[in-house]
Structure 1
Amino acid sequence: MMTDTEAIEIFSVIRERRSVRNYTDREVQDEALRAIIAAGIQAPTALGLQPWEFVVVRDRNLMRRASDYCKPLLAEKIGEESRPGTEEFLAALKRPEYSIFYNAPVLVLVLGAREVVSSVLDCTLCAENMMLAAWALGLGSCWIGSAALIQQNPDLLEALEVPDDHQVVAPLIFGYPAPLPPKPGRREPRITWIS
């Protein structure tokens, strides 16, 4: 059973965790990444199938290659949608020096087994555990959904050692946060109570 202090700490991590898009150059130790992945695999998984695998990428050149591949595809997609608030991001995607990985020192791909029906949901829960664990360890993280576009590039998949029977579900970056602006507030949820 959890103590009140432990419960308060868990709720604090959940409340304070945020997506980090600005990192220092400080290296993330292997032990921290192992602890983060160990927290990830404690996530609920349908039928106990645990359909996840992980690829840890520290190779900045490979991350740059992946970013450079994804940027024009993403820019094209955003240009087609033309929603308010996307102009700044679209302009960033067109800058050669811009990285969709925000210069984070580590990219972890959470891969899901293709033949497992619940793979995407299970790996999503795993990814959330990982991001919460990272915050508890003083690390920032961000889910880079647009990086899933690498799934369309066989050469990148080979370089990233993604097995054919798995798909990229959650591309997560980790690192030590640089100074951050205040966290944006959350809207009050709509709750329907039925008794």
Structure 2
Amino acid sequence: MKDIIEIIKTRRCVREYNEDVVSDEDVQFLIECARYAPTGFNMQPWSFLVIRNKDLLHKLSESGKKSMIPILEPMKNSSRKASDFLVFLKTKGTNMLYGAPVLVIILGNKNSPTVDFDCAMAAQNMMLAAHSKGIGSCWIGGLLPAFMDEKLLKELGAPDGYKAVAPLIFGYPGGRTEMPEKNEPGVKWLR
């Protein structure tokens, strides 16, 4: 297993996957790692949906594309990234899940005051643990508008009172993912 600092610094969002299947045991390992994330008031407000069905993954990708287009449309002239992503979303045959074999949706209990932060930390644990095992991952935030439809979440089997917080894809990388440019953060020391 790799050193944790190396894992943090070398993890990338993977958007190209090969056909290899991520085992149920490995997915369960990732969920187990998520459980160890810190939570406000130790509420542990999460539940997990694991989706492997290719037809359902395709349907979710299409729902995500339809939901994101109207959000990005007003930004297309002011943001190059929004404009580029709009082209991707509107291109026939594109897949928001990049062909990954598994989607894990971290659901959060709406009654927890720190649910978004807690589930985000669980997601980070999962992505780092995946990278330590050679499994690629990517947080597909573009699916979240589709999951605002509680009917869709109910169809997927989400428990009552839960919302989608972190849709994560996992699979074995199908290519090399380059290091994105990292900006220097603003840091102000108060002593």
TM-score range, shorter chain: over 0.9
Q: Which amino acid aligns with 2:81?
A: G
Unaligned stretches of 5+ in structure 1? 1-5
Query: 1:37 maps to which residue?
Result: 31
1:73 deviates by: 2.1
Unaligned stretches of 5+ in structure 2? none
CA distances 1:75-94 after superposition (whole Å, capped 9, x unpaired) = 11111112123333211211
1:58 deviates by: 0.1
User: 2:36 and 2:67 mapped to 1: Cα distance?
Assistant: 34
Give the aligned length: 189
Farther off after superposition, 92-101 or 149-158: 149-158
**Alignment counterpart, residue 158 of structure 1, candidates 144, 154, 160:** 154
Please say if 1:81 is aligned against 2:60: no
Please say if 1:175 is aligned against 2:143: no
| Contact 2:40 2:114 (8 Å CA) reproduced | yes
User: 1:166 and 1:181 mapped to 2: Cα distance?
Assistant: 33
* 1:90-169 pair list within 5 angstroms: 90-169=86-165
Alpha-carbon RMSD across the aligned residues, in angstroms, is: 1.5
Query: 1:3 maps to which residue?
Result: none
Query: 1:184 maps to which residue?
Result: 180
SS in 1 for 2:158: coil
* 1:19-30 pair list within 5 angstroms: 19-30=13-24
User: 2:178 and 2:144 mapped to 1: Cα distance?
Assistant: 28
| Contact 1:150 1:157 (8 Å CA) reproduced | no
Query: 1:48 maps to which residue?
Result: 42
**TM-score, with normalisation over the residues of structure 2?**
0.93
